[in-house]
Amino acid sequence: MKHLLPDFNDLLHTDFVVTTEERWHEPYLSSQSVGVVFVQQGPLEFLVLTARNYSIARKHHIRINELSECRADCMHINDSWATLNKKLQHCDYVVVLRDGAAIGYLKTSELASRVLQAYTYLKAYYDTILETTDDTISVIDNNMDTVVWTGGAERLYSIKKEEILGEPMTRFFPENRLDNLKILNTGKRFYHKQHQPRDDLFVLINSAPVKLGGKIIGAVSCEQDVTYQAQLNKKLTNAKETINHLQKQVCRMDRSVDPFRCINGSSEAIQNTIDKLKQVGAARAKVLLLGESGVGKELFANALHDLRTLGAAPFIPINCGAIPDALFESELFGYEKGAFSGANPLGSKGKFELAKDGTLFLDEIAELPLEMQVKLLRVLQEGTFYSVGGTKLKHADCSIIAATNKNLKELVHKGKFREDLYYRLNIITITIPPLRERSEDIIELSHQFLYEFAEKYGRSCTGIPKEVMMALIDYSWPGNIRELRNIIERLVVFSRDELLNFNDLPVQIRESNQESEMPESFSQNELPENQPLVSLNRAMRECQHRTIRKALEHTNENKNKAAEILGISRTTLYNKMHQLGIS
């Protein structure tokens, strides 16, 4: 191909003779086929005689040094163009050796014209490619000067070639937005990176360093304008947000919409819980929601509130475990102006007042300090309270829903929760079942969360691979639905090619799946007929859960004694408790 440098073999001349200084005048060079005589003076040293000079010298007995035209250098046939280039600097001929023997010679004059020809072809192709492409291509050299700027770049940035070529690119763009400059320093290439070279412009950029002899001599960028797509995407996201917002408002106004619609799960256990709450909905009695962490207590409380108030009154949650003791009273009952230093000088309403006609949701009620339990009890009994620093009696006109993941009865026994408050709250108690007791919901909830996060992160993952689903079903979910939700979010974020990957599951879930493939205490032959393996595992887990809980209750939560009764080490007991979600 004419634009490539020629092969040395193609340029090799073989009409030559190599002789020595003593024998140079011998008459064997009268032949027409010999063009050059190389007189060898050392192992790699040659004098050059053209055939014509040789004849003159012989005829007139001239000394060799007087008629020699020049010296020739030598190279090996496998040497590179870079080596040859160095030799050509100081001689007109290069003797080419193979295994120490001369096999031909190269002429500098001829090489130069062949290299120039290759360069001319290459340049013609290169210029035509750059003129023909619509793409935005730019190249800078290692001084940051612009050496290539295509028509696409002219159009995208409204900068003419005449203005920018030969000029530092930093004159036209802020340095921190020039990825080319970073490449000059780091040598790292990148592909399809989102980039914003100017406030109004979004591009996808491929960039690479230009290297020569191991050194970076420049950087190339090829950009694709995606501003239109980025703007469309933004509009789409805004539109989605607006639709979501409107949908929520429509739901609130539409009395026919089921307030329990956002509680997913069709297991018998969850449906029974929903039915019970619907029954108590009409009565404005206090409700105590029990259930492990992340099981959906607040979601249920919210749904019950919507059912009772049709969303027309406030739902005010307060986390009794997260407020410092000193602030609790003012948080619950509010304070008057000047009540204490550092407070809002105008005073502030407390949660009881904010929840007027609506619901006050007392989350983590078991964490309420004892002295606050007395004050809360008084409000629940009398229905009135004073704000901090206030003298005016106020009415507590709100429904109360309390929730906890602790065993309140046990705390009453231990003196950590007031018995009278317990009986005040424990009028209607509803326990929300943990996720491990309703594995059929895992499938529904996982898909629900998958669609939610796929939309949020703009991925089009549509399904959950079988091995991932099996691992999710077999895990014991100590963190319940919150944990499941977080894990699906993680899988969507790490998904590649729109697929969720088993290896992106947290290690404890992957391990629980491996464990379940062949439980230690059962062999295949012992499996009950028609009983699927997953149910058997679940049965095993539930049995373990019950047994460990019983042992702990029996030993008054003493783990050493419980481990002894169960015949396992304390560490194994801790591990099992963690796996089974026993707090």
Contact residues: ligand ATP, CB under 6 A: 263-265, 291, 293-299, 363, 405, 445, 481-482, 485
| Closest C-alpha among 578, 582, 575, 520 to residue 545 | 582
Q: Minimum distance between the CB of residue 203 and ligand ATP, rounded to whole angstroms?
A: 37
Q: Minimum distance between the CB of residue 365 and ligand ATP, rounded to whole angstroms?
A: 11
Closer residue to ligand ATP (CB): 259 or 265: 265
CA gap 446, 477 in Å, rounded: 13
Q: Minimum distance between the CB of residue 507 and ligand ATP, rounded to whole angstroms?
A: 22
The secondary element (H helix, E strand) that includes residue 300 is helix 297-309
Closer residue to ligand ATP (CB): 49 or 481: 481
- The answer to whether the CB of 107 falls within 8 A of the CB of 93 is yes
Closer residue to ligand ATP (CB): 39 or 432: 432
Residue nearest to ligand ATP (CB): 296
Q: Minimum distance between the CB of residue 299 and ligand ATP, rounded to whole angstroms?
A: 4
Closer residue to ligand ATP (CB): 259 or 334: 259
Contacts of 119 (CB under 8 A, 6+ apart): none
Token pair recorded at residue 68: 């020699």
Token pair recorded at residue 469: 């689903």
- The answer to whether the CB of 180 falls within 8 A of the CB of 137 is no
CA distances from 506 to 62, 286, 438, 497 (A): 92, 39, 21, 20
| Closest C-alpha among 203, 256, 9, 20 to residue 114 | 9
Closer residue to ligand ATP (CB): 293 or 431: 293
Q: Is 309 exposed, middle or buried (0-12, 13-18, 19+ CB in 10 A)?
A: middle
Q: Minimum distance between the CB of residue 433 and ligand ATP, rounded to whole angstroms?
A: 10
Closer residue to ligand ATP (CB): 300 or 328: 300
| Closest C-alpha among 580, 573, 553, 558 to residue 409 | 553
Closer residue to ligand ATP (CB): 150 or 302: 302
CA gap 338, 346 in Å, rounded: 8
- The answer to whether the CB of 484 falls within 8 A of the CB of 472 is yes
Sign of the torsion angle spanned by Cα atoms 52, 56, 62, 66: negative
Q: Minimum distance between the CB of residue 201 and ligand ATP, rounded to whole angstroms?
A: 38
- The answer to whether the CB of 349 falls within 8 A of the CB of 334 is yes
**Count of Cβ atoms closer than 10 Å to residue 562 Cβ:** 23
Closer residue to ligand ATP (CB): 334 or 434: 434
Closer residue to ligand ATP (CB): 159 or 445: 445
Closer residue to ligand ATP (CB): 331 or 336: 331
Closer residue to ligand ATP (CB): 209 or 434: 434
Q: Minimum distance between the CB of residue 298 and ligand ATP, rounded to whole angstroms?
A: 3
Q: Minimum distance between the CB of residue 293 and ligand ATP, rounded to whole angstroms?
A: 4
CA distances from 177 to 49, 153, 193, 538 (A): 62, 16, 13, 56
Name residue 316's beta-bridge partners.
Answer: 360
Q: Minimum distance between the CB of residue 168 and ligand ATP, rounded to whole angstroms?
A: 53
CA gap 203, 196 in Å, rounded: 6
Q: Which SS3 state, helix, strand or coil, does residue 20 take?
A: strand
Which residue type is seen at 562? A
Q: Minimum distance between the CB of residue 142 and ligand ATP, rounded to whole angstroms?
A: 53
Instruction: Give me Rg for the CA atoms of the chain.
Output: 43
Task: Find the length of the chain.
Answer: 583
